[in-house]
């Protein structure tokens, strides 16, 4: 068998010089094929790069011939060419609260205590972020939804997801494969609001099922800027021909007529809301449902955000915080600083100075407004203190508050302290 293999003509040929020549020729042909393929690939890449550059320089479309990567935003641009602005109503803040409560009851079958309505409306007058918190089923989402119906401009309901971590979870992202931007409902509403003057309500439903200080961080920072004209949020990092008209260098302006309302359930499935968020937001506790009641017929209203701002400014000018109330707040601040090493800064003081007058304009009273905001913005900070120390000093703190403001005048503050003693 071995002699046969050694004498096999095929094996003899494979080891010959002729075979070596064929090997070399085949290798050269293979190299040529690979080189041609590489040149073709480089040519294709070059063309695509040129097309990408032409999006900026020569006017070619980025997402395809005749199309934009923002189809829905560009559709809004077209719609607004024939948009006719509605006629706006003029209404006082107090009438606004009563009509909203009656409208919700009559038209939607949703019942709310007038004090909760006042707190909600006053909160919207102080800041662009309001958090409605309480047990599930107390009507938090419904309250924000009802406000959109009352304003004849449906609220945007954004269900927050547990894995959210950044702004793209709210406004969308650019898809490199399709060369289009995945536009979310919130992004579309923000863009639409930039064209209009009506009030817009965005509901971040179950705001604390993920960490709001992560996915809403840039919104929080921008809302802190005193000049609304400088509140621009990054959407894309470049500019393409055919992008929506109102995108400025890939940024969208936070509309001054949009408010954000977060609903937060207090249970084991959610995250604690950080002080960074609490300090910037106004808080409304909804712990129980209101019983049904007979309500007068009430029509919806349509008001502009300029008129809304005028109402708030008039309230602050007409119902300023009294000197007596200011003195009591300062004395309470001194007591809390001395006993618990907690205090509140300029941000919360400014909120108090604005919230109390707006509550008065809504039909509330000064003591009730002070009681409400101190319980939510100041005494809440006691949660971070030593539990044993809080329990041992709670009676003295309650006695000081009642001596300062009057017995029975600060029920929400007293309830806050007693609740902390129970849960600590």
User: Given a cut of 70, is residue 182 above it in pLDDT?
Assistant: yes
Query: In angstroms, what CA-CA distances link 397 with 332, 389, 391, 416?
Result: 9, 12, 10, 12
315 pLDDT more than 70: yes
Q: Classify 87 as helix, strand or coil.
A: coil
Instruction: Report pLDDT digits (tens) over 77-117.
Output: 999 999 999 999 999 999 999 999 999 999 999 999 999 99
Query: Quick one: pLDDT band at residue 259, thresholds 50, 70, 90?
Result: very high
Which residue stretches of 58-92 are H helix? 71-79
Domain ranges of the chain: 2-57, 93-285, 319-423
Residue 206 has what pLDDT?
94
The pLDDT mean for the chain works out to 89
Instruction: Give the pLDDT confidence of 7-65 residue by residue, as tens digits.
Output: 456 556 556 667 667 767 777 787 878 876 767 766 655 544 444 444 444 343 455 54
pLDDT in tens, 351-397: 999 999 999 999 999 999 999 999 999 998 998 889 899 999 999 99
**Predicted local confidence at residue 60, as pLDDT:** 39
The reported pLDDT for the residue numbered 270 is 82
pLDDT (mean) for 125-144? 92
Euclidean distance between the first and the last CA atom of the chain, given in angstroms as a whole number: 93
Per-residue pLDDT at 228 exceeds 60: yes
- What residues are paired with 252 via a beta bridge? 233
Check pLDDT > 60 for residue 330.
yes
pLDDT higher than 60, residue 345: yes
How confident is the model over 233-254, as a mean pLDDT?
Answer: 95
Contact by Cβ (8 Å): 343, 333 = yes
Beta bridge partners of 282: 130
Q: What is the pLDDT of residue 6?
A: 44
Whole-number pLDDT of residue 46: 52
Q: Are 402 and 371 in contact (CB under 8 A)?
A: no
pLDDT digits (tens, 9 = 90+) for 184-209: 999 999 999 999 999 999 999 999 99
- Average pLDDT, stretch 344-351? 90
Nearest-angstrom CA–CA distance, 57 and 48: 14
How confident is residue 266, by pLDDT bands cut at 50, 70 and 90?
confident
- Which of the four pLDDT bands, split at 50, 70 and 90, describes residue 265? confident
pLDDT band at 261 (very low <50, low <70, confident <90, very high): very high
What is the model's pTM? 0.83
Alpha helices for 273-386 (secondary structure H): 275-280, 305-318, 323-340, 346-361, 366-377
Cα distance between residue 257 and residue 267, in whole Å: 32
Distance CA(147)–CA(142), nearest Å, equals: 9
Q: Does residue 421 carry a pLDDT above 70?
A: yes
Q: What is the pLDDT of residue 287?
A: 84
The whole-number average pLDDT for the span 151-164 is 95
The tokens 């560009």 sit on which residue?
Answer: 74
Q: What is the pLDDT of residue 42?
A: 64
User: Between residues 345 and 416, which one has the greater pLDDT?
Assistant: 416
CATH no., domain 93-285: 3.40.50.300
Q: Which DSSP category does 304 fall into? A: B
Closest CA to 295 of 100, 90, 137: 100
Residue 373 structure tokens: 């905001």
Q: Quick one: residue 249, left, alpha or beta (phi over 0 = left, psi -120 to 50 = alpha)?
A: left
All residues at 6 or more sequence positions from 260 whose CB lies less than 8 Å from its CB, including other chains: 128, 129, 130, 202, 204, 216, 219
Q: Report the alpha-carbon distance of residue 146 to residue 105 in Å, rounded.
A: 10
Tokens encoding 100: 């909203």
DSSP collapsed to 3 states, the chain: CHHHHHCCHHHHHHCCHHHHHHHHHHHHHHHHHHHHHHHHHHHHHHHHHHHHHHHHHCCCCCCCCCCCCCHHHHHHHHHHHHCCCCCCCCCCHHHHHHHHHHHHHHHHCCCCCHHHHHHHHHHHHHCCEEEEEECCCCCHHHHHHHHHHHCCCCCEEEECCCCCCCCHHHHEEEECCCCEEEECHHHHHHHHHHHCCECEEEEEECCCCCCHHHHCHHHHHHHCCCCHHHCEEECCCCCCCCCCCCCECCEEECCCCEEEEEEEECCCCCCCCCHHHHHHCEEEECCCCCCCCCCCCCCCCCCEHHHHHHHHHHHHHHCCCCHHHHHHHHHHHHHHHHHHCCCCCHHHHHHHHHHHHHHHHCCCCHHHHHHHHHHHHCHHHHHHCCHHHHHHHHHHHHHHHHHHHCCCCCHHHHHHHHHHHHHC
């Amino acid at each position: 068998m071995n002699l046969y293999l050694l004498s096999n003509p095929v094996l003899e040929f494979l080891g010959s010089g002729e075979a070596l020549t064929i090997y070399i020729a085949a290798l050269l042909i293979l190299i040529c094929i690979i080189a041609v393929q590489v040149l073709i690939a480089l040519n294709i890449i070059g063309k695509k790069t040129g097309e990408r550059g032409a999006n900026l320089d020569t006017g070619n479309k980025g997402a395809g011939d005749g199309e934009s990567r923002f189809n829905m935003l560009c559709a809004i641009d077209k719609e607004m060419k024939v948009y006719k602005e509605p006629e706006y109503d003029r209404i006082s803040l107090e009438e606004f609260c009563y009509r909203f409560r009656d409208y919700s009851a009559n038209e939607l079958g949703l019942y709310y205590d007038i004090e909760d309505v006042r707190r909600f409306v006053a909160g919207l007058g102080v800041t662009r972020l309001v958090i409605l918190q309480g047990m599930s089923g107390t009507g938090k989402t419904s309250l924000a939804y009802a406000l959109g119906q009352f304003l004849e401009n449906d609220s945007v309901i954004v269900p927050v997801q547990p894995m959210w971590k950044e702004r793209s979870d709210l406004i969308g992202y650019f898809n490199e494969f399709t060369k289009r931007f995945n536009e979310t409902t919130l992004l579309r509403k923000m863009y639409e609001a930039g064209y209009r003057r009506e009030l817009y309500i965005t509901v971040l439903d179950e705001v604390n099922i993920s960490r709001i200080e992560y996915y809403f961080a840039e919104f929080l920072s921008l809302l802190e800027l005193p000049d609304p004209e400088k509140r621009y949020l990054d959407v894309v990092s470049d500019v393409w021909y055919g992008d929506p008209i109102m995108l400025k260098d890939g940024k969208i302006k936070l509309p001054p007529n949009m408010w954000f309302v977060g609903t937060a359930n207090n249970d084991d499935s959610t995250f604690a809301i950080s002080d960074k968020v609490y300090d910037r937001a106004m808080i409304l506790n909804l712990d129980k449902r209101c019983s049904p009641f007979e309500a007068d017929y009430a029509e919806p209203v349509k008001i502009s955000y300029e008129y809304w701002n005028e109402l708030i400014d008039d309230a602050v000018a007409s119902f300023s915080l009294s000197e007596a109330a200011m003195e009591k707040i300062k004395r309470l601040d001194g007591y809390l600083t001395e006993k618990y090493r907690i205090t509140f800064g300029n941000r919360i003081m400014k909120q108090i100075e604005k919230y109390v007058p707006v509550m008065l304009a809504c039909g509330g009273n000064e003591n009730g407004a002070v009681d409400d905001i101190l319980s939510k913005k100041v005494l809440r900070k006691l949660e971070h203190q030593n539990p044993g120390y809080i329990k041992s000093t709670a009676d003295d703190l309650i006695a000081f508050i009642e001596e300062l403001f009057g017995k029975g005048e600060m029920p929400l503050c007293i309830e806050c302290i007693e609740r902390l003693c129970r849960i600590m």
